Amino acid sequence: MILALDATNDPHNPDRMIEADDARRMVGELDDLVSFVKVGWALYMAGGNQVVRELVDQGKRVFLDLKFGDIDETVRRLVLVAIQQGVSFITLNAGFSAVRAAVKARGNTQLKILLVTMLTSWNEADLAEMGFTLSASEYVSFRTKGAIEAGCDGVIASGREVAEIRRIAPAGFFVVTPGIRPAGGAHDDHKRAVTPEASILAGSDYLVVGRPITTAPDPRQATIAILEEMQQAFDARSRPAP
């Protein structure tokens, strides 16, 4: 599981802008349970490279989710900075030419490059509004095939499309799934949310979980419950079919 630190907030004042100390507090509270964390734009703007460096120095794996999307040369330079910072995953939300530039810049380092297929806050009405006539599944498949051809290590995708991604992707290709919501929980702004169990059974490698943990009355207990659900799903997935 990857904990989305940028979803951390003050339960007594949810409209207060995130501060770096909010993330530090959450990391400390869940230190023994969570080893992989996500830093998105809100936290990055609040603490910048200092927060990223602190987390890496603490031995945490860091998913820098800034969805780089620019011209090839700018994306190439951003990848080089990410390598220097020691992060584990980065996201791109760019054209395939920029993706190829990022993969080339990454070289033989340990950095994993992931392409965003379709935001979990989108649905087919959003695609239509932008002029696309593809279904959500078709659009995600198109983006996945482009990511594979460009040399990406994986994609970011809703659990609803993971099974189709697994059908077309090679072995070892990562699928990282955000928009995770426990059964019965509020979906917030995720239009294509999926439970931890359903996403793992479909074939996700990593789940990104934010508000179900960070806004819970007891974040530790919420984390434990999600980890247990994930483990049960991984166990079920590994068992041979009868």
Determine, yes or no, domain membership for 241: no
Active site residues: 67
Q: How many domains does the chain have?
A: 1
- Is residue 3 within 8 Å of residue 213, measured between CB atoms? yes
Among 122-136, 140-154, 208-222, the minimum mean pLDDT is found in 122-136
Determine, yes or no, domain membership for 86: yes
Determine, yes or no, domain membership for 163: yes
Q: What is the pLDDT of residue 10?
A: 58
Determine, yes or no, domain membership for 18: yes
Whole-prediction pTM = 0.88
Confidence bin at 9 (pLDDT 50/70/90) = low
Q: Which residues constitute the domain of residue 197? A: 2-236
pLDDT tens digits, residue range 170-226? Answer: 999 999 999 898 875 554 544 556 899 999 999 999 999 998 998 889 999 999 999
Determine, yes or no, domain membership for 242: no
Determine, yes or no, domain membership for 14: yes
Determine, yes or no, domain membership for 121: yes
